[in-house]
Each structure stands twice: as C-alpha cells, then as structure tokens.
C-alpha cells in the first residue's frame, strides 16, 4: 500500500462534547469519514477545521 507520507495526519471534522482533565477533550464525529465515532484527544492534537 501507499506509504505513511501519503496518509492524512488529521481526521475530521469532530464536535467537542466535553472538556476532560489534563487538557483533554471528548469529541464525536460530525460526518462519515475515517476514524473513530467518539474518542478523547489532547488539545495539542486538534486544529480548526
């Protein structure tokens, strides 16, 4: 298959459901795209869509 350089670094868009401790957020998918339906992530791993 294609190398990792060709893969997208980010999945999205996600909606923030709640803020967790230690600068983490619970997020949920907004549309049909690759990635988990609901997950938690660090603020450093998020960017505006």
The tens digit of pLDDT for each residue in 1-49 reads: 567 777 777 777 889 999 999 999 999 998 887 777 898 999 998 888 7
Decide if 32 is inside a domain: yes
Q: Structurally, how many domains does the chain consist of?
A: 1
Q: Give the per-residue pLDDT at 28.
A: 93
Which residues, in sequence order, are bridge partners of residue 42? 24
Decide if 19 is inside a domain: yes
pLDDT tens-digit map of 22-34: 999 999 998 887 7
Q: Give the per-residue pLDDT at 1.
A: 57
- CA pair distance 45, 24, nearest whole angstrom: 10
29: enclosing H helix or E strand: strand 24-29
Count CB-CB contacts under 10 A for residue 27: 23
Residue 29 belongs to domain spanning: 14-45
DSSP for residue 35: S
- CA pair distance 4, 49, nearest whole angstrom: 22
């Amino acid at each position: 298959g294609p190398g990792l350089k060709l893969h997208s670094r980010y999945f999205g868009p996600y909606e923030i459901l709640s803020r967790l401790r230690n600068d983490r957020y619970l997020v949920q998918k907004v549309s049909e795209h690759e990635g988990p339906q609901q997950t938690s992530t660090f603020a450093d791993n998020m960017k505006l869509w």
